[in-house]
Amino acid sequence: MRTRRSIQLVAALLAVGALVSACGSSDSDSGSADSSGVEGAIEGELLPFSLVQDNEFVFEGDPSDPGRGIFRVRTTEPMICTIVWGETEEFGNFNNSLAMNGTGIIDHDVILPGAEAGKTYSFRVQGSTADGNQYRSEIGAFTIPEVESGGEADEMAVHGANLALGATITGFSSIFGPGWEAENAIDDDTNTEWATAGDGDSGFIVLDLGSSQDVVGVEFLTRSMLDGTATTEMYTVTVGDQTFGPFPAGNPANPRFTEVEFTGQEVRFDVETSTGGNVGAIEVRVFAPADS
C-alpha cells in the first residue's frame, strides 16, 4: 500500500525521471555554470544545485512523530524538487513536498518517513525549474537529531485490544484521492493516513465494530501539514444517540488516550475544531476493556 510519505506528485515524478539516469554518475559529470549563473548551460546539462539554493539544507526530527524526519530548503525560484536518500549512496527513498500540488515552489518542507533519529543517511537533492534547467547537489550525509515528544504523555488507563483494527469503515465525509483512503485510519500503520478533500471542521469517519462492544477509551491521531493546516484540535465520538467529548486529538508521539465508557457497534468520530483544510486521521482507535 502506498503511504502518505511516498506518494509523489505526477509533475515531480516526471522531473525525477529525467534525472534518474544521472543519479549514479560521478559528480565530475554534473556540469558547471559560468559566473553569470546558468546562462552558459548546455541543453540537458545538470547544473549545481547551489545555483538555486537560498539557504543551508536543514534536517530535523518531527516532534509529532518520532518515526520520521523533516528536510527543509528554500530555493531562489520556484522548482519541482526532490530529495533522494538512504543508508547507502544507492539511496532507495525519494520524497518531495506535498505542498507542490503540481507546480514549482520555493519553500520545500519534506517529510522523510522512516528516517530514524541518530542514524546517518546519504542524500542528494535534485530538481528542475520552469525553464527546463535541471539541478543536482553533490552527495551528502545527514543525521536526524533526537527530539522531545512535546510534553509528558497522558497517564493512560489500562485497556485491552484496539477494536478498530477489526472494524469496517461505513462512512466518511470525503477522501482527498487515491492513497488517502479512510481505511488508512484503521490499519495500525502510522505511515498511512486518511485525508479529506478540504472538509475542515465538517470532517467525520464512521466505524462498524461488527457487533456491539464494550468500550473504555478512544484515540484520534490527527494528520497535519507542515504549515499547520489540516490539524484536528478537538473531536467528538457518537454512539447511537450519545455524543461524548469534545476531546483533544493526539499524534503518534502523544496519542492522548481518553477514557470514555459506552457499549455499541457503530462509532462515529467528528472533527469538532481544526486548523482547516484536508483534515483526517493517521489512526482512530477504540479500546476494549483490559479483561476482554
Q: Is the pLDDT score of 43 beyond 80?
A: no
254 contacts 153 by C-beta, under 8 angstroms: yes
**Res. 103 pLDDT band, cuts 50 70 90:** confident
Residues 232-280 have pLDDT tens digits of: 999 999 999 999 989 999 988 788 899 999 999 999 999 999 999 999 9
Contacts with 194 (C-beta within 8 Å, 6 or more apart), sequence order:
172, 175, 180, 181, 182, 183, 184, 185, 205, 223, 280, 281
Mean pLDDT for 179-192 is 92
As a whole number of angstroms, the distance between CA 245 and CA 247 comes to: 5
**Res. 148 pLDDT band, cuts 50 70 90:** low
Q: Is the pLDDT score of 29 beyond 50?
A: no
As a whole number of angstroms, the distance between CA 228 and CA 277 comes to: 10
**Res. 85 pLDDT band, cuts 50 70 90:** very high
Count CB neighbours of 101 within 10 A. Answer: 9
Question: Would you identify the CATH topology of the domain 163-287?
Answer: Jelly Rolls (2.60.120)
Secondary structure tally for the chain: helices H, strands E: 1, 15
The predicted pLDDT at position 101 comes to 65
CATH superfamily of 10-143: Immunoglobulins (2.60.40.10)
pTM of the predicted model, to two decimals?
Answer: 0.63
The predicted pLDDT at position 20 comes to 40
The predicted pLDDT at position 17 comes to 46
Q: Is the pLDDT score of 196 beyond 60?
A: yes
Domain 10-143 and domain 163-287, same fold? Reply is no
Which of 88-102, 127-141, 142-156, 272-286 comes out lowest in average pLDDT?
142-156
66 contacts 80 by C-beta, under 8 angstroms: no
The predicted pLDDT at position 291 comes to 77
What ranges do the domains of the chain cover? Answer: 10-143, 163-287
**Res. 147 pLDDT band, cuts 50 70 90:** low
